Amino acid sequence: MTHTIHQKPKLLARVRRIRGQVEALERALDAEKGCADILHQIAAVRGAMGGLMTEVLEQHVHTHIASPTITNDAERSQGANELIDVLRAYIK
């Protein structure tokens, strides 16, 4: 997946921020913070993961489905099928 290689530093930075948010959630649970605080942390982690997913999905569509450089219908179909598989797993 070439677009992830080109976006590697940016994607890794996002993942590291998400890791920090998950660690903050763990600390909040360990410190027995109130449920409102915990829910806010969970919402932040979920939002960050959703943002990461959106970014990678967007690049996948541009690179593997919508790119004018794709002249082979089988390659375009493969990109679409990969996207459909991911969306099915994500929606479950």
Quick check: 6 pLDDT over 90?
no
Tens-digit pLDDT profile for residues 57-84: 999 999 999 999 999 999 999 999 999 9
CATH code of the domain in which 34 resides: 1.20.58.1000
User: What confidence score (pLDDT) does residue 47 get?
Assistant: 97
Tens-digit pLDDT profile for residues 10-56: 999 999 999 999 999 999 999 999 999 999 999 999 999 999 999 99
User: What confidence score (pLDDT) does residue 92 get?
Assistant: 86
The pTM (predicted TM-score) of the whole model is 0.83
Domain that holds residue 47: 2-91
User: What confidence score (pLDDT) does residue 3 get?
Assistant: 72
User: What confidence score (pLDDT) does residue 74 get?
Assistant: 94
Give the separation between CA 58 and CA 42, rounded to whole angstroms.
Answer: 24
Give the separation between CA 5 and CA 90, rounded to whole angstroms.
Answer: 22
Q: How many domains does the chain have?
A: 1
